[in-house]
Each structure stands twice: as C-alpha cells, then as structure tokens.
Chain A
C-alpha cells in the first residue's frame, strides 16, 4: 500500500493550521506592495506646493529659479525680509541665501530653515537648480551658446549597446544579470527555508519518538518522500499565495495611484527659461527613457522558459537538500547540532549566490560552468547563467546530475532514517 499521499496530506494540513503559514506570505506580499507603492505615497505627501525664498546677493541667480509643481521659488530683496517671512506661513519652508563674494563664480550657498530641516529631496532640487543656473549662465551668456545647443549639450548622453553581430539582438547585460540573480536568489531562499522545515520535521519525529510507530506502519522511503513532498507542496502554496497577494496589491495600488504617478512623472525639474524652451522644442528627439530601455530589455528575455527552469531547479535542488537535511536530522540526537550541520551544508549554495557578480561577468567561464554542473551549487549557478543563453547540453547535464543526486540522497536519507531513528535495518 502506498502511504505517501496520506503523509503528504498530514504535512500540508499541519502547516496550513500554523499561523506562520499565512503570516509569512502575507508579510512578503505586503513588503513587495509597500516597495511598489512608495513613489505613490511620496507623491501624495508632497502634493502641497512648498515655497522657498531666494536671497541672491550676487545677482547671478536673479529670477532664474524655476518653480515646479512641488516647489515655488520667490525672490526676496533682503535676508532680513526673508527671515521675517520664514515661518510666517506654513508653505514657506526655507531660504536659499547666496552671499556676495569677491569671485566671478560663487561656489557656496546656504539653505536656511526654521525648526524643521528641509527634506533631502528639496535640498537635492535646490542644489540641482543652483548648479544648472550657474552652468547655463556661463554657457549661454559668457560663451554665447544658443539655447538649442545648450540643451543638446546637457541632454546628450552616449548609449553603449551590446549587440549580436549576426542577429543584431541586444545583449541587455545588466538586465540579464539582474534577472539571473533574482532567479538564483528565489531558488536559494526556497531551498534554504524548505530544507530547514524538513530538518525540523524529522528532528521532531526523532525527538517525540514517533519514528518507531511510523517505521512500523510504513516504508521509510514512502515516509521520507511524503514528508519532503508535503513540505515542498506547502512551500509552493505559500509562494502562490504571496504572488497572488502581491499581484493583487500591485494592481490595486496602480489603480488607486495612477494619477498621482502620472503627476510625479510630469514633475521633472526644468533648468531655466531658455533651457525649458529648448526642452519643449527637442522633446521628440530625446532618446528612449531608462524605463523604456528597461522594458525593451525585459521583453527580449524568455520569461516562460526561465519560470519553468526556476521551478525545475528549485524543485530538484530542494529534493537534494531536503533529503540531506533529513539524513542529518535523523543522525543527530541534538537538534541544535543538526541545525549547525544544516548551516554548514548550505554554505556552497549561499556562497554561489554571493558570487553572482563574478558569474555574471563571465557566464560562460570555467568557474560558472563548473558550479552550474556541480549539484550542490547548480540551482543557484545555473539559474544565474540561464538569462545569458547557455548550451542546451549543459542545462540537460545539470538537471540530470541534480536529479541523480536527489534520488541518491533520498535513498541514503531513508536508510539513515531507519538506521538512526530506531536502530538496525529494515
């Protein structure tokens, strides 16, 4: 009789009843949604326009500050007048004071405040405006450069593309590195958490002396496979739950905050009056934004294939590590000792993840190939390399070796379970 489904059912039901089963994915989803919603929230908080008073003793910045939707700049004749106004109304948050110096180009300014310091964003915006006004004045006035030339000079940046000489396809190396690292991190996280759960499950059976009655009732192999499959299934359910919650949260946040995000994107600081005109004229000539480039790069990646590989390598990696964890837990009478051995066991996997930049720099190098074929490091190394496009035989061989390791370790673990938990052989 096959008892595996009964054992799987018990493992899943036991975990479904634990509060942690629901709290962990909910917390993970909340974190993802919070990170996504942060720009909306920040936009919302900064909806009210702030006023910054400008006291310019040099005359170089006279009426040059350009107000945005978030910040209005108002020139004030004297520092004393500005001082009186600061704090008189809620909206006046700071004074930009540019003192007169005996130099052609001023190099310092002070942002004065009363009680509440200005935000980092305001400080950056002011610094940016100061810098740009100074540069544009020098270029436009001192060197008599036209507004068009000035804008072109300021907005031009070189895009270095990496293309396949035959197909002309973009390499998108940075995006591939990020995708590979994310996949590897997900796999490593799943393997660590779930193999730890198997370790604790077996240790519990050993500690509470259930093992003997279990071994008398069923085959050790079925017992172990059932336990590993049950814990794996519960983990998969948690992942699905977290993904669903996070997706729902992101969709809801997007729907609620679409307008605010549009406003936030529209609130791009303008350099100066002449520069603003140039921006308006050259708007269509501006190359793809970083967001557009990112989307183009992501579109070039075969995500369904990567998702399938993530599932496969995570599953096989989990099988191997879970079986080894079960063997450790069965052979150690002290559960803290078992945890120590488990930590030592997962070092190669974690170390491979930490080596992500190295592997991404040379995804087809000898080290990357060796690590992606070596079963203990394969789940991390292979997933890291996959977005770069690697020979099919390497993927096949890696899967084969990982499968063989998983099966072998499961058999070893079943023997260890029976020998160490109750003594003797079955």
Chain B
C-alpha cells in the first residue's frame, strides 16, 4: 500500500531525514517512534505532500505519490484545529468534501461515525464550544469519514483521556481489520506493542530499528524496555 523509499530531507543545512525507508501493507498498523526532532512529523508531512523530499520517493499502490491519492488518504496532523465559529457537522462535511465525498454522502457517513465516537450531539454545536479533546475526536472523524485506504496519524493519542484513547484504539483496530493501512507516530512506546503490527524507530534522522512487533519481541525483554535501550544507544554523544 505505502512504500517510502530512501527519503532524505534537509532544512537550513540541518538533516532531518536520511535515507528513510519503510513499508505499510493493507490492514497493518505501523508505528513510527523516535525522540523529539527525530523527523517523524516531517516524514508524515512528506507522505501527505505538504513537504517535498530532497531525494527518495513515496509510492502508493506502486504509483508515485500525487494529488490523485488525496481521496484515498486520511490525515490527522499533530497540530490540530477547527474553524471555531463553524458548526461541527458543517465543517466535517466541508473537510469530507475536500477528500472527494459528495455533501449528502458525507452527511450520511458522518452522523453514525460521530455517534460511534460518542459525539452524536455535537453536530449543530460551533467547534469553539467543544473542549480540546472533543475537537480532536471530531478531527479524527474527519480523517476517517471517507474510508481511506491509507490513514496517517501524527501523535493521535496526545490530548485524549484514557477512555477517549481507548475508543480511538478500538477504531484503529476496526479500520485495520477492514484493510486500512495505518501509519502513526507516537511518543507512547507502550501503545506500540498494544496496537501496532510493525514499527520503525527513527533516531538521528535515520532508521535505527525496523521490523514487525512479533519479530522484535523475543519474550525475554519487554518491547518497551528494548526500544528505550535502543533509543538510549542512539542519542548523540556530547562533544568534548
């Protein structure tokens, strides 16, 4: 479904990504982890065509990434927001239409989706009246309303309480079971083992570790501990 091949990106002389490659298959949840500034958000923005890579390519279903892929992709960015004065239902329909849905089709899909996320009563409320967590739930609905084949989530659990986070995880599992390829970045190493089928550890702008969760979990050392140890070894050494 998604193939990232040798992506490199430099901002103002600072290398953010160096020869990064990974693959996400349909029905697979792929976790992207790394320290702050490891390049996770930049990589996800490249996959969303917001940022252009210096080299390398992104393939969707074997084709180079292009505007034609917008309708089959869903994106929940790390920096989230809604039009404060616009009603939830209206703006969810607006964003769904930008992803290629018709107005009526979007409305029919959004009402049950918001209900399944515990947001059935929010349709006519201006977004500015919702809490931050509620707004994020609306944005998650917007990201998946068009049944994307590829879903990209940047720190999806940040800002959610435990119950909302659990609802989100359940939704992601359902989507994966229906064949959606999911690429998510997270700081929460614990959720990787719980949710992901495979992972990529980014450190110092390159792939430090990659593989399926089952292959990395040897049954002796917990996965989270193993990843932490690996991250520690990848930290840049202080200059003398």
A and B found bound together: yes
Q: Which residues in A have their C-beta under 8 angstroms from that of B100?
A: 1
**Interface status of B97 (Cβ within 8 A of chain A):** yes
The residue that B99 contacts in the complex, of A217, A219, A422, A425, with Cβ under 8 A, is A217
A380 to B107: give the CA distance in the assembly, Å: 46
Q: Which residues in B have their C-beta under 8 angstroms from that of A217?
A: 70, 75, 95, 98-99
A216 to B139: give the CA distance in the assembly, Å: 13
| A213, B51: Cβ atoms closer than 8 Å | no
Q: Which residues in B have their C-beta under 8 angstroms from that of A391?
A: none
Q: How large is the interface on B (under 10, 10 to 19, 20 to 34, 35 or more residues)?
A: 20 to 34
From 101 to 139 in chain A, residues with beta carbon under 8 angstroms from any chain B beta carbon are none
| B45, A422: Cβ atoms closer than 8 Å | yes
Q: How large is the interface on A (under 10, 10 to 19, 20 to 34, 35 or more residues)?
A: 20 to 34
The residue that B97 contacts in the complex, of A6, A204, A209, with Cβ under 8 A, is A6
Known: A424-B11, A424-B50, A424-B52. A1 touches B81 (CB 8 A): no
Binary flags per residue of B4-31, CB closer than 8 Å to A gives 1, else 0: 0000010100000000000000000000
**Interface status of A423 (Cβ within 8 A of chain B):** yes
Binary flags per residue of A175-207, CB closer than 8 Å to B gives 1, else 0: 000000000000000000000000000001000
| A215, B70: Cβ atoms closer than 8 Å | no
A170 to B42: give the CA distance in the assembly, Å: 69
Binary flags per residue of B45-79, CB closer than 8 Å to A gives 1, else 0: 10011111000000000000001001100010101
Q: Which residues in B have their C-beta under 8 angstroms from that of A63?
A: none
From 91 to 107 in chain B, residues with beta carbon under 8 angstroms from any chain A beta carbon are 94-95, 97-100
| B48, A209: Cβ atoms closer than 8 Å | no
| B75, A10: Cβ atoms closer than 8 Å | no
16 more CB-based (< 8 A) A-B contacts, given A213-B80, A424-B11:
A3-B98, A10-B86, A208-B81, A209-B80, A210-B82, A212-B79, A213-B77, A215-B50, A216-B70, A217-B70, A219-B67, A418-B50, A422-B45, A422-B51, A424-B45, A424-B52
Q: Which residues in B have their C-beta under 8 angstroms from that of A425?
A: 51-52
Q: Which of B9, B51, B67, B80 is most buried by chain A, counting CB atoms within 10 A of its CB? A: B51
Which residue of B is nearest A223, CB measured? B98
A424 to B99: give the CA distance in the assembly, Å: 22
Shortest C-beta distance, B118 to chain A (Å), equals 22
A214 to B79: give the CA distance in the assembly, Å: 12
Known: A14-B85, A424-B45. A212 touches B50 (CB 8 A): yes
Shortest C-beta distance, B28 to chain A (Å), equals 21
Shortest C-beta distance, A300 to chain B (Å), equals 49
Shortest C-beta distance, A229 to chain B (Å), equals 16
Binary flags per residue of A394-426, CB closer than 8 Å to B gives 1, else 0: 000000000000000000000000100011111
A14 to B94: give the CA distance in the assembly, Å: 12
Known: A10-B94, A424-B11. A1 touches B82 (CB 8 A): no
A218 to B98: give the CA distance in the assembly, Å: 7
Which residue of A is nearest B68, CB measured? A1
Q: Which residues in B have their C-beta under 8 angstroms from that of A214?
A: 98
Known: A425-B51, A426-B49, A426-B52. A216 touches B77 (CB 8 A): yes
Q: Which residues in B have their C-beta under 8 angstroms from that of A6?
A: 94, 97-98
Q: List 29 A-B contacts (CB under 8 A).
A: A1-B67, A1-B70, A3-B98, A10-B86, A10-B94, A13-B90, A208-B84, A209-B77, A209-B80, A210-B82, A212-B77, A213-B75, A213-B77, A213-B80, A213-B95, A213-B142, A215-B50, A216-B48, A216-B75, A217-B75, A217-B95, A217-B98, A217-B99, A219-B67, A418-B50, A422-B50, A424-B45, A424-B50, A424-B51
Binary flags per residue of A9-43, CB closer than 8 Å to B gives 1, else 0: 01001100000000000000000000000000000
| B83, A14: Cβ atoms closer than 8 Å | yes
| A216, B50: Cβ atoms closer than 8 Å | yes
Top 10 nearest A-B pairs (CB, nearest first) are: A209-B81, A424-B51, A208-B81, A217-B98, A216-B48, A212-B77, A209-B79, A210-B81, A216-B75, A6-B97
| B51, A423: Cβ atoms closer than 8 Å | yes
Known: A208-B83, A424-B45, A426-B50. A213 touches B71 (CB 8 A): no
A424 to B95: give the CA distance in the assembly, Å: 23
| A204, B49: Cβ atoms closer than 8 Å | no
Q: Which residues in B have their C-beta under 8 angstroms from that of A10?
A: 86, 94
Binary flags per residue of A208-244, CB closer than 8 Å to B gives 1, else 0: 1110111111110000000000000000000000000
Q: Which residues in A have their C-beta under 8 angstroms from that of B85?
A: 14
A14 to B71: give the CA distance in the assembly, Å: 25
Known: A1-B67, A212-B77. A204 touches B83 (CB 8 A): yes
A424 to B48: give the CA distance in the assembly, Å: 12
Shortest C-beta distance, B185 to chain A (Å), equals 14
Shortest C-beta distance, B51 to chain A (Å), equals 4
Known: A208-B84, A218-B98. A426 touches B75 (CB 8 A): no
Q: Which residues in B have their C-beta under 8 angstroms from that of A212?
A: 45, 50, 77, 79
Q: Which of B51, B81, B97, B142 is most buried by chain A, counting CB atoms within 10 A of its CB? A: B81
A210 to B128: give the CA distance in the assembly, Å: 13
| A426, B81: Cβ atoms closer than 8 Å | no
Shortest C-beta distance, B16 to chain A (Å), equals 10
